[in-house]
A and B are shown apart, each in its own frame.
Chain A
Amino acid sequence: MNALAIAAPGPTTEAPATAPPAAHVEIRQLGKRFGANTVLQDLALSVGQGEFISLLGPSGCGKTTLLRLIAGLMLPDTGTITIGGRDLTRTPPHKRNVGVVFQNYALFPHLTVAENVGFGLRNRRIGGEELKRRVDEALALVRMQAFAERSVTALSGGQQQRIAVARAIAVEPAILLLDEPFSALDRKLRETMQIELRHILRDLGITSIFVTHDQDEALVMSDRIAVMNQGQIEHFGAPSAIYTHPASLFVLEFVGQSTRLPGLVTRTEGDQVEVETALGRLRAPGGYLAGSRVVVAVRPEAVTLGEGPVAEFNMIKAPLADIVYLGAKTQLHFKGPEGEAIQVDLARLPQGGLAAGAELSLRWRIADTMLFPAP
């Protein structure tokens, strides 16, 4: 389970680095609409036991609705939700054994930290020593034992989040849902909490579904990512697969940066096609008929300066418009003849430096070139 697939760049298959375990959460044909507004349509999702899944997408894509449907806080119009083999589609939320960490944590301000964590246990008729022991365990997991008797209102944002996690996992839920739990934290704290939470959940082996609109967060935390758009899952796969082989133009644009050049397929040659673009002829792996309108795309870090062997590389020439120094890398921005934005990320600048305005040669591997049907 620990293999967060960081596959080497290059052609990989759709399959994640490890085969997904037996399905624990099975969602089929799920649909939900509010009035005339269809929020989810015919959605299917299968999550393995112990997997950490992210639902990634822009606001309004339906990811929060999906989360609330799994939680039972909303009922679907169509479809089924099965968790651990039980059909829970119509089961009320309090009988589902699903844990939720809410965006604003939703801690009970009238209760202490320990009472918050023990809230779900009490509802399950657990009391006395057993209650105390399990509250302690849950607090120990998030390293908050020292705060047991404090009021939750006196805690910092990061501490509140730990308590929210402890409260959700104290009842040992079948699955854990996390609704953008990091959005209220500042950047530094968010990064530490992400790593820490990932460790806790992996150690517990709890199946988790995590909703976020932040691609970095999704890439850091997840075994697999479901990229959602307009009520449907556009791509469900390992982070590396999502990044290197996005299933659609939407996924490409939503996750990471890219250079996109529209063009027309002129020739098919084996498993490659040749595309006429404003910046010249480019080749890409894929099967499109000649005459198809397509978009050729490449990630900025796949592009380098200078020329290379024609058999392996696509090459273009463009004037350098801007240089942005970002510490770990440097971004070069080029402008194509029709205003196309071309971005190149370099780990380090070439010796002698670069001057804006200079016409430079750029190259990238044909294998790194992505091809999508034009929108």
Chain B
Amino acid sequence: MSTLPLAAAGASPPRRITLDPRFVMALPGLLFMGLVFAFPLVLLMSKSVQGPDGLSLAGYGRILGDAYYRGVIWDSLTLAFRVTLITLLLGYPAAYALARAKGTLQVFLFALVFLPLTVSIIVKTFGLTIMFRREGILNWFLVNTGLIDAPMRFVFTEMSLVIGMVNVFLPFLILPLYSVMRMLDTRYLDAAATLGTSPLHSFLRVFLPLTMPGVIAGASIVFALSVAAYVTPGLLIGERYMTMSMVMAKAFLNFRDYQLGSAMACIMLVIALTIVFLSSFLTRNLEAKGR
């Protein structure tokens, strides 16, 4: 649009603030989300600092001042970290193979990775508990292949918890990585190879940095989901491994200790938002460096 000289513009009637009438279409949705989404979150935050008589940080004090709850937060974070690390180690090469597959095979393999994402988490976790049983498929497989002599105990162990969570969250890592890798031009690697760089060197210096956005996206999703996970740990290990989710749920559903539960929920909210901001910060940093 061209601009007219200011003199010409000054001659016209006083400026009206014209709002596009299509604005009203956004209102019902915004109003709804304001009332049903933003308001409850604000309420939650205010409840977490509300004691029997006015403002009180007692809820936070009880959590952060208690070695037990600090331990729970620490355990939740380290669990999420372990799960994220293992999904990365398994998922990165798998995503690479998926991105390099051709034609119908790729569509088929993609569907197989995508399917578990849509199957109910209860069904998956149920399947995992069956799998880990003494007479389950895992022991059956291990015994029949001669890897172990007698059935092992998996149920309610920390190992089964980690394996189970990796199983549930792995597709969330593979898919973003896959989409980044699929966009990548293989010629980068070919170019690196023709320049005489060793495959390992070209992987570390070319491919890995280029796929970093996918790694950050996938890893942050998996970490966020793992910290907040409730169904899978609840079924696979229960209270033998207390997480923040478990504390929150118990505070509300069993002990009716709303102050403690709300404070814990707010701490988790802060962790979740930190992950979001950290990952977007890292991605932006990466983009800036690439430029």
Contacts and interface: CB of A to CB of B under 8 A. Distances in A.
Interface of A: 31, 33-34, 36-39, 41, 60-62, 77-78, 230-231
B2 A31 contact: no
A80 to B, nearest CB: 15
Given A34-B1, A41-B4, A77-B12, 20 more contacts: A31-B12, A33-B15, A36-B15, A37-B3, A38-B4, A38-B8, A38-B9, A38-B12, A39-B1, A39-B2, A41-B8, A41-B12, A60-B2, A62-B2, A77-B13, A78-B12, A78-B13, A230-B4, A231-B2, A231-B4
Contacts of A37: 1, 3
Nearest to A64: B1
B187 interface: no
A344 B217 CA distance: 64
Interface residues of B, number: 10
21 contacts: A31-B12, A33-B9, A33-B12, A33-B15, A36-B9, A36-B15, A37-B1, A37-B3, A38-B3, A38-B4, A38-B8, A39-B1, A39-B2, A41-B12, A60-B1, A77-B12, A78-B12, A78-B13, A230-B2, A230-B4, A231-B2
Interface string B182-221: 0000000000000000000000000000000000000000
Contacts of A61: 2
B289 interface: no
Interface of B: 1-4, 8-9, 12-13, 15-16
Interface of chain B: mostly helix, strand, loop or mixed: loop
A41 to B, nearest CB: 6
A213 B227 CA distance: 59
Contacts of B15: 33, 36
Contacts of B3: 36-38
Contacts of B1: 34, 37, 39, 60
B290 to A, nearest CB: 33
B21 to A, nearest CB: 9
Contacts of A39: 1-2
Contacts of A38: 3-4, 8-9, 12
7 nearest interchain CB pairs?
A60-B2, A38-B4, A38-B9, A37-B1, A230-B2, A60-B1, A230-B4
A272 to B, nearest CB: 33
A22 B171 CA distance: 71
Contacts of B13: 77-78
A62 B16 CA distance: 20
B147 to A, nearest CB: 58
Nearest to B3: A37
A31 B9 CA distance: 11
Q: Which of B2, B3, B12, B16 has the most CB of A within 10 A?
A: B2
A201 to B, nearest CB: 30
A41 B2 CA distance: 12
A129 B202 CA distance: 71
Contacts of A31: 12
A70 to B, nearest CB: 18
A38 B1 CA distance: 9
A77 B4 contact: no
A319 B16 CA distance: 58
Nearest to A62: B2
Contacts of A62: 2
A146 to B, nearest CB: 37
Contacts of B4: 38, 41, 230-231
A276 to B, nearest CB: 30
Nearest to B2: A60
B155 to A, nearest CB: 54
Nearest to A58: B2
Q: Which of A33, A38, A62, A77 has the most CB of B within 10 A?
A: A38
Contact of B16 (A41, A77, A231): A77
Q: Which of B3, B4, B12, B15 has the most CB of A within 10 A?
A: B4
